[in-house]
Structure formats: C-alpha cells, structure tokens
C-alpha cells in the first residue's frame, strides 16, 4: 500500500523527522509502505507557510480508489492552560482526560476539564503545571513564541486557575515586555499571585481581552482589577461570582473552577475570540 499527499505535507517514519518516507519521482506518492504485522507508523508535518487543509490518502498499489483518507489542517490558534497549585496536567487516572478528580468530595481539576473540552473540540491546547511558567526549560513561553513566529499562528489564549491564573498573568506580561506579543485572550480564574497566596489582581500590562472571574468567599481568591489600567482597544470582563447576579454566590476557591457556568463562559469566550482552530 502507498500514501498520497498534498504538497503542504511531509511524511516521516519517526517523530523527530530523521527518516522521511521515500516518495516516487512525482513527489506526492510514497513508495510501498513497509508494513510489519499489518502496521506502519507515519508522522505528518505541515510544512507550508500558509494556512489551509490537506489530505493523506491510503491506496492499494494499482488501485485508484482510496481505502482511507485523513484530513489535516494547520493550527491557526493556540491555547496555553495552567492549572492550580499541585494540579497535574497529565491524565493521572487513565480515563482519557487531563481533568481528573482531586479528592473524594467531587473536587476536580476544573481548568484542565476546560482544556480537555477545547482539545476534544479540535483546538490546539497545551496544558501545564503552573510551576512550568518560570521553569528553566521555559516551555510555555517558547511554545507561544514558536507558534506566533514559526507556525504563523494568528491568535493565542493563555488561561489559568488560582496560581495558574497568576502564571497566566506573568506569561502575558512577559510575552509583551520581552517579545512585543499581545495576547489575544487571557483568562484569570480566581487568580492567585504565582508563587504567592494573595489575589493576583494586576492588569497584565497589555492584553486584547482579559476575562477575570473570581469569588470572595475564601481566603484564597482572585480580585478586582483596576479598570483604569485597560488601554483603549482592550477589554476587561470581570465577574465576581459572590456578588454578581446570575452566578452561584456560594462558590469557594476550590469550587469555582468546577462550576459549569464558569466553564461555559470561558469556553464561549475562547470560541468567540480565537475564531479559528
């Protein structure tokens, strides 16, 4: 069997692109694939500088009818998600979701549930431990830089809960101050100062749209951001679930990230503002 592909795609036998899949002279059809036990793994890279979609088709040699086809598109947006203190971005219980239960009382890694939902609906989501924001390998920062500068990603969101909200704040500021990159949408969910225990209620220098949702029932909490800091053209949307009408006024710090209405609003804003996956 062979694969055919569009010119936007390159095929490899390994994830680090050491071994390209050999092509016929035409350059769009592979040589017969080396199946072992009816299996072969092929890695696909989008190599075009323009955003579009392209197919990889599987054929029997000599038969013009495709057996199967996979459609690829380049990501035009990126979502970076930071959980709260000690929350693990891995799928710790093997249920296929990075949002897992934290305790036996129904408390969950709500921010990662949101991240998983966005991933499951086709968005490019990278989830991190909040400590990753200033770790030596600097992955969240570098992923945004690479996305914007090398993958031509048009929009990005940075979302976080609790100390992860503080991490989101810090990353938004750093991207602007060090690299002139404006974050399209930031979400600070009951944000606590990264590496601290008090509310992170500082406007992160520059952001196009910032959604801040917080409660005031718990000692650990987010807080009111100074509206005067918001520059013309930017938007700050703030919700105090403890006092604003229409919200569950009893939400605590550990519950707010699991609240369905809070999660729905975050998901809605990400869809509205990122536009394209």
Partner 1 sequence: MRCFLMYVTASAMCVTCAAQESSVEKLLEQSEPAIQTWIGKVSDALNQSDPKNNIVAQKVAANLNEAFADKHEIVKQVAIFAAGPDEQQPLTALAVLQLLNLPPNIVIETLAPYLNADNIKLRSFVLDWFQNHDNGGSDESPLQPVNYADYADYVRKRLNRNEDIPNGFVEYLFERSPGRALLAFNRADRRGETVDRLQEMRRELEQRGNIGKLPQPKAGVGQSDIFLAEHMISNAIWFKKHHFDHQFQDALPAAKQQLSKLSEQQQWWVRLYVAEIMRRYREFRQTEVLEKLSHDSNAVVSKSAKSAID
Binding residues vs partner 1 (CB under 8 A): 51, 76, 148-149, 154-155, 177, 179-182, 184, 202, 205-206, 208, 228-229, 231-234, 273, 275-276
Quote the least distance from Cβ 185 to partner 1, whole Å.
10
Helix (H) or strand (E) holding 113: helix 110-120
Give the residue with the Cβ less far from partner 1, 51 or 249. 51
Quote the least distance from Cβ 48 to partner 1, whole Å.
13
Give the residue with the Cβ less far from partner 1, 134 or 202. 202
Give the residue with the Cβ less far from partner 1, 98 or 206. 206
Q: State how far the Cα of 54 lies from the Cα of 47, in Å rounded to an integer.
A: 11
CB 107 within 8 A of CB 253: no
Distance of CA 231 to the CA centre of its chain: 26
Sign of the torsion formed by the C-alpha atoms of 72, 153, 186 and 275: negative
Quote the least distance from Cβ 177 to partner 1, whole Å.
6
Give the residue with the Cβ less far from partner 1, 66 or 273. 273
Task: Give the 3-state secondary structure percentages of the chain, helix then strand then coil, rounded to 5.
Answer: 25, 25, 50
Quote the least distance from Cβ 151 to partner 1, whole Å.
12
Calculate the CA dihedral of residues 199, 200, 201, 207 and round it to 10 degrees. Answer: -160
Give the residue with the Cβ less far from partner 1, 87 or 212. 212
Q: In 182-214, which positions are buried (b, 16+ CB within 10 angstroms) versus exposed (e)?
A: bbbbbbbbbbbbbeeeebbbbbbbbbebbbbbb
Give the residue with the Cβ less far from partner 1, 175 or 189. 175
Q: Are strands 9-12 and 43-46 parallel, antiparallel or unpaired?
A: antiparallel
Give the residue with the Cβ less far from partner 1, 108 or 148. 148
* Cβ atoms < 10 Å from Cβ of 59: 18
Copy the structure tokens of residue 160: 């976080």
Quote the least distance from Cβ 52 to partner 1, whole Å.
11
Quote the least distance from Cβ 146 to partner 1, whole Å.
12
Quote the least distance from Cβ 43 to partner 1, whole Å.
27
């Amino acid at each position: 069997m062979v694969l055919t592909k569009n010119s936007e795609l390159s095929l490899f036998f390994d994830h680090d692109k050491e071994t390209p899949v050999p092509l016929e002279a035409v350059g769009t059809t592979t040589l017969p694939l080396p199946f072992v036990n009816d299996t072969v793994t092929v890695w696909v890279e989008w190599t075009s500088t323009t955003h579009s979609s392209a197919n990889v088709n599987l054929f029997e040699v000599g038969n013009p009818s495709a057996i199967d086809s996979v459609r690829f598109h380049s990501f035009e947006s990126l979502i970076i998600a930071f959980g709260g203190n000690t929350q693990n971005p891995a799928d710790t219980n093997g249920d296929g979701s990075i949002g897992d239960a934290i305790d036996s009382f129904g408390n969950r890694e709500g921010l990662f549930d949101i991240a998983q939902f966005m991933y499951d609906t086709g968005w490019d989501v990278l989830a991190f431990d909040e400590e990753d924001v200033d770790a030596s390998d600097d992955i969240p920062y570098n992923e945004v830089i690479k996305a914007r500068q090398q993958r031509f990603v048009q929009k990005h969101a940075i979302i976080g809960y609790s100390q992860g909200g503080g991490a989101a704040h810090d990353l938004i500021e750093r991207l602007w101050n060090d690299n002139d990159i404006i974050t399209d949408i930031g979400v600070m969910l009951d944000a606590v100062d990264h590496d601290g225990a008090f509310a992170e209620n500082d406007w992160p220098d520059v952001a196009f749209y910032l959604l801040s949702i917080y409660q005031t029932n718990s000692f650990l909490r987010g807080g009111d951001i100074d509206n005067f800091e918001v520059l013309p053209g930017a938007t700050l949307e703030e919700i105090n679930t403890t006092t604003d009408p229409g919200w569950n006024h009893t939400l605590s710090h550990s519950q707010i990230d699991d609240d369905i209405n809070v999660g729905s609003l975050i998901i809605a804003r990400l869809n509205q503002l990122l536009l394209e996956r």
